[in-house]
Amino acid sequence: MRDKAVDKVSLYLTTECNSQCKYCFVMKYRKSIESMSFEMVDKIMDYVDKKLAEGVALCFFGGEPLLKFDLIKHIIEKYPTLSYALPTNGLLFNEEVFDFCKKHRDFVWVTFSIDGDKETQLLSRGNYPNIDMVKKAFRELRAGIRMVVEDPKKLYENVRYLHSLGPWKISVGIPRYYDLCPGYEDEFKKQMKMVEDDMSLRSIPIEQDESNDCTTHCEAAYDYIAIGTNGDIFPCDIFCVNNICKIGDISTGIDREKVNKFLDEKSLGSDGPCIAYKYL
């Protein structure tokens, strides 16, 4: 029997990363570096294909997913009827990856994690991708940008820079589980208003990424789950990193009693914007 409620899955290919983003909750809370094996990938995908909603949307997650490009190719080639999101910091986005994504462009959505101009990127992430390959992806693939705003003072300026690269879309996110600078919220709203008022930026969608806002937009354990490197199932990616609040595994499926307990507890609130704070 299919669990038709779940139609979005984050698949943790690895907790390893080749970047040093100062606000990354994965690097902050991971207990060890773990990666999926081909054997585990096949077991997980068999579960996803047979037990979850038909046409489920799958997001490769990490760490940096392209460190496991061999697994990504294996999954997409074996299950070409699903839709895939591929977020990447772009450091490993080379001609081979580009050619593969172009071949499967009808159901693979690439999102580059770029926070702004080179100065901003080096401050927040410690590296800068091959911008020529990024621009090529924007020209020929369904590719967008997700920027994380550590300090909002240059938000508008950075959006203008990213817009000039030619992405299909820009999502603007606030870092989770990170101490924001004083006055962050007011400055963020001010800068986003500047973005909204700039007519020259309206050629593409530029939106605040509410999927990263745990205060108002939570799909955890409802229609979204995260699957860890060993096949365990969790309400969302933050729990998966911590290996806590497990709600099932690919062998036994999702435990609805545990899901209901989680949803009931979540509705009671917590000291932070998300129940995950109780476990951090």
What average pLDDT score do residues 51-77 get? 93
What residues make up the domain containing 85? Answer: 8-279
Q: What is the CATH number of the domain that holds 13?
A: 3.20.20.70
- Residue-level pLDDT at 216: 60
Tokens standing for 278?
């109780």
Nearest Cα to Cα of residue 72 among 50, 47, 103, 51: 103
Assigned domain for 15 exists:
yes
Residue 3 located in a structural domain:
no
Torsion of the alpha carbons at 117, 121, 123 and 127, rounded to the nearest 10: -130
Q: Is residue 2 part of a domain?
A: no
Rg (CA), the chain: 19
Domain for residue 145, yes or no?
yes
Look at residue 1 and tell me if it is in a domain. no
Which of 78, 67, 59 is CA-nearest to residue 9?
59
Query: Looking at the domain assignment, is residue 100 inside a domain?
Result: yes
* Tokens representing residue 187 in the block: 């400055």
Q: Which two tokens stand for residue 133?
A: 């390959």
Looking at the domain assignment, is residue 47 inside a domain? yes
Residue 52 per-residue DSSP state: B
The tokens describing 21, both together, are 């983003």
Residue 64 makes CB contacts below 8 A (sequence gap 6+) with: 14, 16, 17, 18, 19, 88, 89, 91, 92
- Residue pLDDT, tens place only, 135-179: 999 999 989 999 999 999 999 999 999 999 999 999 999 997 788
Is the predicted pLDDT of residue 268 greater than 90, yes or no? no
* Model confidence, pTM: 0.91
pLDDT in tens, 6-40: 888 999 999 999 998 989 888 888 878 899 999 99
Number of independent structural domains in the chain? 1
In the DSSP assignment, the letter for residue 168 is S
